[in-house]
Amino acid sequence: MALSPYVQAMQELFRANTRSREFPAHGAKVHSVAWSCCGRRLASGSFDKTASVFLLEKDRLGRSPGIGRAGPGRVKENNYRGHGDSVDQLCWHPSNPDLFVTASGDKTIRIWDVRTTKCIATVNTKGENINICWSPDGQTIAVGNKDDVVTFIDAKTHRSKAEEQFKFEVNEISWNNDNNMFFLTNGNGCINILSYPELKPIQSINAHPSNCICIKFDPMGKYFATGSADALVSLWDVDELVCVRCFSRLDWPVRTLSFSHDGKMLASASEDHFIDIAEVETGEKLWEVQCESPTFTVAWHPKRPLLAFACDDKDGKYDSSREAGTVKLFGLP
């Protein structure tokens, strides 16, 4: 079958830029990477209890204009300290490129403003936090902890609006793009869907035969994807709530997913030493990004075919000549 013009164009682009670039970010493994809504900044959260923010320059990640040129190994715009435990996940405000929020095992979330580089709010939660998302309308932050409690926090008052204790293992959480449903993936292989803001159960979908780990919605609002311990990625029609195809090139549990800005590519990663990039509409393999260790987190840039990701640091057995806690970019010219 002849490749579509889109697939050919992307493959040519990736072929011309096959090497991933590495940027020192942290003193320990990176758990989460995320782009600001405008795509100018990339944030990372780490086991070292900090978050870092980089500025995207034309062909690299760099420091702010006016702070001086980035020397070797000094590409961060800023480092954000304050958490007392690992930063497990972070996300940006959906429409304000200056605000991001971090979830930590220290039983707090923190909201940060890159204009002042300060924490503007610390919200205490009941447990060790492992996942976080910001509602599409920017008004609410949802955070989940190790005890399967999800707390909904008002983004303006920083107070809890609602709290739900679930009777199953909650893995990842997300609103749909319309902000009227809330999705959870669980340890039984199901996707649980609640109405929002009522938080009434709408549906439970048996999506996978084993642990359903991650979930992402595409920017166009047409699909969402889930990744599972069965090493499959499944693609779902948002309106019909039916699975339209599966991607099966990974051999290990799927840890992380990201749709490209145009909704046409889906990156998925696991303990396999590559990131799979698939064409969404056909399931065809567009590219494989080679990695030297398992990948924790992937995030497509919101405006261009540029993929940020971070890998495991091999449990401290990292080659001493290499920087631990690096953020990587694939697709830079």
Which pLDDT score is estimated for 163? 97
**CATH for 5-58+74-316+323-330, options being 1.20.120.550, 2.120.10.30, 2.130.10.10, 3.90.1530.30:** 2.130.10.10
Q: What's the token pair of residue 17?
A: 């830029």
pLDDT on residue 59: 67
Output Rg (C-alpha) for the chain, integer angstroms.
Answer: 19
Coil, helix or strand for 134?
Answer: strand
> Which of 84, 94, 90, 83 lies closest to 38, judged by CA?
94
Pairing of strands 21-24, 326-330: antiparallel
Amino acid 40: pLDDT = 94
pLDDT value of position 1? 67
Q: Name every residue whose Cβ is closer than 8 Å to that of residue 28 and which is 6 or more positions away in sequence.
A: 46, 47, 48, 313, 324, 325
Q: Distance (Å, rounded) from C-alpha 66 to C-alpha 78?
A: 14
Q: Which residues of 33-68 are buried (b: 16+ CB within 10 A; e: fewer)?
A: bbbbbebbbbbbbbbbbbbbbbbbeeeebbbeeeee
The per-residue pLDDT string of the chain (333 residues; one tens digit each, 9 = 90 and over) reads 678 899 999 999 999 998 899 999 999 999 999 999 999 999 999 999 999 999 998 767 764 443 333 333 334 689 999 999 999 999 999 999 999 999 999 999 999 999 999 999 999 999 999 999 999 999 999 999 999 999 999 999 999 999 999 999 999 999 999 999 999 999 999 999 999 999 999 999 999 999 999 999 999 999 999 999 999 999 999 999 999 999 999 999 999 999 999 999 999 999 999 999 999 999 999 999 999 999 999 999 999 999 999 998 654 444 544 557 999 999 988
Q: Please count the CA atoms within 13 angstroms of the CA of 18 that sit on its side-chain side.
A: 7
pLDDT score for 313 = 67
Q: What pLDDT, on the 0 to 100 scale, is given for residue 165?
A: 97
Cis peptide bond prior to 333, omega within 30° of 0: no
Token code pair at residue 273: 């030493």
pTM of the model: 0.93
> Measuring CA to CA, how many Å separate 280 from each of 93, 167, 213?
26, 33, 19
